[in-house]
Structure formats: structure tokens, C-alpha cells
Homo-oligomer: A and B are copies of this chain.
Amino acid sequence: MARVGLTTERLVRAGAELADEVGFEQVTVSELARRFEVKVASLYSHVKSSQDLKTRIALFALEELADRAADAIAGRAGKDALVAFADVYRDYGREHPGRAAAARMRLDPETAAASAGVRHAQMTRAILRGYDLTEPDATHAVRLLGSVFHGYASLEVAGGFSHSAPDSQETWTRILDALDALLRNWPSEPTL
């Protein structure tokens, strides 16, 4: 009865890799058990349910992504920081599509509040220190950046921009140029 050494930690990591291989939606307790060469029921001592497993993968991805983002913006400011930060999101989505999808998973409010999601929001706000935005404009801008990063990654992985000119990298660069210009010249009052 060879003990494989299952732990919640190992299951979540393997689940994240599985997500990158087959897609987050296709992550299944059964497939994970197969990979560890263990019976399915054995996993239930380590995760409460299939849903619990997916939530843990999402939290793991959010942490990993936040760590990368923190590294990227350290010592940078202004457009430099914006681009480095944004590139972390885009690269993560391309490198780890399953984990990125997990990070976009809907979490219930308490779980979300205790997740690395708040670090993401804080870092986005930190980026804006390089621009002259006062509240509530800073909050609006945080939400805009979140929407763009989130949305672009989704559309890109869905193949929305592939196989059509100009290529996705070019668009990404120009979108960041545009966002930088927008943040430097944020319209303080509604333009009439």
C-alpha cells in the first residue's frame, strides 16, 4: 500500500499544472487521482470537494501572480512600472493559461477578501502613484486597468486576436502606450 505522500499543497500544485495542460474547467479530482496513481476517494482527506480543489488552485494562482507582479514593479515607477506590471499579467496568461483562468474564477466574497486579490488591487493602486490621480479617479483607473488586463487575457487565450494582423504583441504594446497617455491626461470632469 505504497504511500505516495499526498498533501493538500501537492494536490493544488499538481492541479495547477493539470489546468495548464487540459484547461481549468477540465480539472477533475479523478484525473488528479490518476496522476498520483491513487484511488479517487483518497484525495478527499486533503480537499473537501471538487469545488474546494478548484478554489484552492485559484488562490494559489492569485498568490503566484501577485508575487510575480510585486517583483516586476519593485524599483520601477510611471510607465516603466505600468508596462512591467501589465506584462506580468499577459505573460502569465500565455505561460500558464489554466492557472490564469483559475485566477479569474469567481470566488465568494469572503474567500476573495482573504485572497491575494487584494494585493493585486493594492499594487494596481501603487502603479497610479506615478500619475497624478486623486480619488475617486484613482479608483476608476484601478478598475479600468483591471478590466483591460482581465479582458485582454481572456480574449487572447480565446484566440480572439490570433491569426490576424496586426499581431497581438503589437496591439498590447500600443494599448499600454494608450493607457499611459490616458493616465497622464485623465479627464477629471466629464467632457461635455
| Residues of chain A at the chain B interface (Cβ within 8 Å) | 79, 104, 106-107, 109, 112, 136-137, 139-141, 143-144, 146-152, 154-155, 157-161, 165-166, 170-171, 173-175, 177-178, 180-182, 185-187, 190-191
- A74 nearest CB across to chain B (Å): 23
10 CB contacts below 8 A, A to B, read A104-B154, A140-B175, A143-B171, A146-B160, A147-B147, A147-B151, A150-B151, A150-B154, A173-B190, A177-B190
Q: How far is the CA of A178 from the CA of B136 in the complex (A)?
A: 14
Q: Contact at A159–B190, with CB atoms within 8 Å?
A: no
Q: Is the interface of A mostly helix, strand, loop or mixed?
A: helix
A53 CB to closest chain B CB (Å) equals: 15
Bound complex: CA of A143 vs CA of B161, how far in Å? Answer: 8
- Taking CB as reference atom, which chain B residue is nearest A147? B151
Residue in B closest to A101 when the chains form the complex, CB atoms: B106
Contact B112 A174 (CB under 8 A): no
- In angstroms, Cα B80 to Cα A191, docked, is 12
B147 adjacent to A155 (CB under 8 Å): yes
A155 in contact with B148 (CB, 8 Å): no
- Option from B106, B141, B175 in Cβ contact (under 8 Å) with A158: B106
A187 touches B177 (CB 8 A): yes
